């Protein structure tokens, strides 16, 4: 079996070590389209391979056979292709891979934020995707950091359980694909099948959490004035932010209600309110379960995390300004909340609270998605909203993407 890993950062270091060390895999290749990265990585990997030091107590070494920047060199014959990349690069990779991919390939992304399937169908073609196993993990299985480039990487934390969505080809099953991926990443995290791509796209917790909490905090601050310290992310949220999170999530659930009314056979059971998601995910780590605001402030798992900031030198010394190039904005808006907004628009559901968050964030990242409550801004085509892929009515969107 031949596996191609796409990317070149922290996660690709971990995957290179894990997958290359498996006996059932004949060949592991790495493909990086980031200029100069493939050569740099190829030259940095020692003979014994990349060492992955992990929190489960079993260090792993593995060496990919080829590290290339040329899809024609590594993609032909690939049985499995895994993306571990920021989502804004997915389209570029899919376009580059398309001429070389074999029918029936198993292809997916970790993480595969909102609309990964839309992006794959648009770029590879519906028939090709139907004949492939497409998968997406809700997040990366590990918190990981390169220790020494090309040589060693550390898994700081292996998640316990994460959702995976699989759309199997004819003759294959979700369990088959899931079993293969589970063997590649190891015993943990346990991959738990989610209902379908639509449910996963709408249940994108990052797309609700990160933009709304950022808006809630910075709306009261002069962002041109540097901060002495990076402000706390979850513990810095005020009551207004807690209510806003609830309202944005209410709007997502209204989309669910309308979809289920129209398509009663649709399974969106894994799509829940963010309040319930938090209780399920953190349980007893939360001290005060009164409302979202109190939960954000009393969740042990959220302690000590701060807003993404950049350091700046000022006459009074080192200070911090918000980093709007961070994935909380550059991924969780165009591949997150904007995708949900697009589906809401097709379903005819008004989303004034979601719009308020998007409008503030788009201004910070100098983009334009929502104008006067409509997804008609000039940058919709750089998002993964259904409208970017030409969908203008709900039935066509639901049928062509095989949600019904």
Would you name the residues annotated as active-site residues?
210
Within 8 A by CB and 6+ apart from 197, the residues are 116, 117, 134, 136, 165, 167, 401, 403
Q: Does 11 bind ligand NAD (CB under 6 A)?
A: yes
Compute, in degrees rounded to 10, the torsion defined by CA atoms 286, 287, 292, 294. -150
Within 8 A by CB and 6+ apart from 59, the residues are 51, 52, 53
What is the DSSP secondary structure assignment for residue 168, as one 8-state letter?
P
User: In this chain, which stretch among 27-35, 120-128, 220-228, 368-376 interacts with ligand NAD, using CB under 6 A?
Assistant: 27-35
**Helices and strands per DSSP (H, E), number in the chain:** 16, 14
Q: What is the per-residue binding string for ligand NAD in 351-390, x denoting contact by CB under 6 A?
A: ----------------------------------------
User: In this chain, which stretch among 29-37, 187-195, 229-237, 395-403 interacts with ligand NAD, using CB under 6 A?
Assistant: 29-37
Q: Does 327 bind ligand NAD (CB under 6 A)?
A: yes
Burial of 368 (0-12, 13-18, 19+ CB in 10 A): middle
Q: Does 8 bind ligand NAD (CB under 6 A)?
A: yes
> Of 34 and 61, which CB lies nearer to ligand NAD in the complex structure?
34
> Of 85 and 199, which CB lies nearer to ligand NAD in the complex structure?
85
Residue of 383, 391, 381, 328 whose CA lies nearest to 357: 328
* Distance of alpha carbon 147 from alpha carbon 153, whole angstroms: 5
- CB nearest ligand NAD: which residue? 9
Q: Does 168 bind ligand NAD (CB under 6 A)?
A: no
Q: Does 34 bind ligand NAD (CB under 6 A)?
A: yes
CB of 273 to ligand NAD, least distance (A): 23
Q: Does 143 bind ligand NAD (CB under 6 A)?
A: yes
Q: Does 323 bind ligand NAD (CB under 6 A)?
A: no
Q: Does 139 bind ligand NAD (CB under 6 A)?
A: yes
Judged by CB under 6 A, how many residues of this single chain contact ligand NAD? 20
CB of 39 to ligand NAD, least distance (A): 12
* Separation of CA 303 from chain center: 22
Residue of 65, 59, 79 whose CA lies nearest to 31: 65
CB of 143 to ligand NAD, least distance (A): 4
Radius of gyration of the CA atoms of the chain, in A = 21
CB of 345 to ligand NAD, least distance (A): 26
Q: What is the per-residue binding string for ligand NAD in 81-100, x denoting contact by CB under 6 A?
A: ---xxx--x-----------
Residue in 16, 20, 32, 68 binding ligand NAD, rule: CB under 6 A? 32
* Distance of alpha carbon 311 from alpha carbon 349, whole angstroms: 41
> Of 213 and 344, which CB lies nearer to ligand NAD in the complex structure?
213
- The pair of structure tokens assigned to 103 is 């029918």
Residue in 7, 115, 334, 336 binding ligand NAD, rule: CB under 6 A? 7
Q: What's the angle, vertex CA 203, arms to CA 198 and CA 209, rounded to 5?
A: 145
Burial of 78 (0-12, 13-18, 19+ CB in 10 A): buried
Q: Which residues contribute to the site for ligand NAD (CB under 6 A)?
A: 7-12, 32-34, 37, 84-86, 89, 111, 139-140, 143-144, 327
């Amino acid at each position: 079996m031949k596996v191609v890993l796409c990317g070149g950062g922290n996660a690709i270091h971990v995957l290179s070590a894990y997958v290359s060390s498996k006996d059932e895999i004949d060949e592991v290749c790495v493909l990086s389209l980031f200029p100069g990265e493939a050569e740099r990585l190829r030259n940095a990997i020692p003979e014994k391979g990349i060492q992955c030091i992990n929190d489960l107590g079993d260090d792993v070494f593995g060496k990919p056979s080829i590290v290339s920047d040329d899809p024609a060199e590594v993609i032909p014959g690939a049985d499995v292709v895994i993306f571990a990349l920021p989502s804004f690069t997915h389209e570029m990779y899919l376009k580059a891979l398309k001429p070389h991919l074999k029918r029936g390939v198993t292809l997916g992304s970790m993480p595969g934020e909102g609309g990964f399937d839309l992006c794959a169908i648009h770029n590879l073609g519906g028939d090709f995707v139907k004949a492939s196993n497409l998968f997406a993990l809700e997040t990366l299985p590990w918190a990981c950091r390169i220790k020494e480039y090309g040589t060693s990487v550390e898994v700081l934390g292996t998640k316990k359980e994460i959702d995976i969505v699989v759309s199997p080809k004819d003759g294959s099953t979700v369990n088959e694909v899931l079993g293969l991926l589970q063997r590649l990443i190891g015993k943990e995290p346990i991959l738990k099948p989610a209902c379908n791509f639509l449910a996963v796209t709408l249940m994108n917790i990052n797309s609700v959490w990160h933009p709304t909490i950022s808006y809630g905090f910075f709306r009261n601050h002069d962002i041109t004035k540097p901060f002495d310290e990076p402000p706390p992310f979850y513990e810095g949220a005020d009551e207004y932010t807690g209510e806003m999170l609830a309202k944005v999530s209410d709007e997502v659930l209204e989309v669910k209600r309308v979809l289920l009314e129209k398509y009663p056979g649709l399974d969106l059971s894994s799509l829940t309110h963010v309040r319930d998601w938090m209780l399920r995910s953190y349980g007893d780590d939360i001290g005060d379960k009164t409302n979202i605001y109190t939960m954000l402030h009393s969740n042990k798992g959220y302690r000590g995390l701060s807003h993404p900031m950049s350091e700046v030198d000022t006459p009074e010394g080192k200070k911090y300004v918000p980093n709007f190039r961070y994935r909380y904005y550059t991924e969780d808006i165009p591949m997150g909340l904007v995708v949900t907004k697009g589906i809401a628009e097709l379903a005819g559901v008004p989303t004034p609270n979601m719009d308020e968050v998007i409008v503030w964030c788009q201004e910070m990242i100098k983009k334009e998605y929502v104008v006067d409550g409509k997804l008609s801004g000039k940058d919709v085509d750089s998002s993964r909203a259904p409208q970017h892929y030409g969908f203008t009515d709900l039935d066509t969107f639901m049928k062509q993407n095989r949600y019904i």
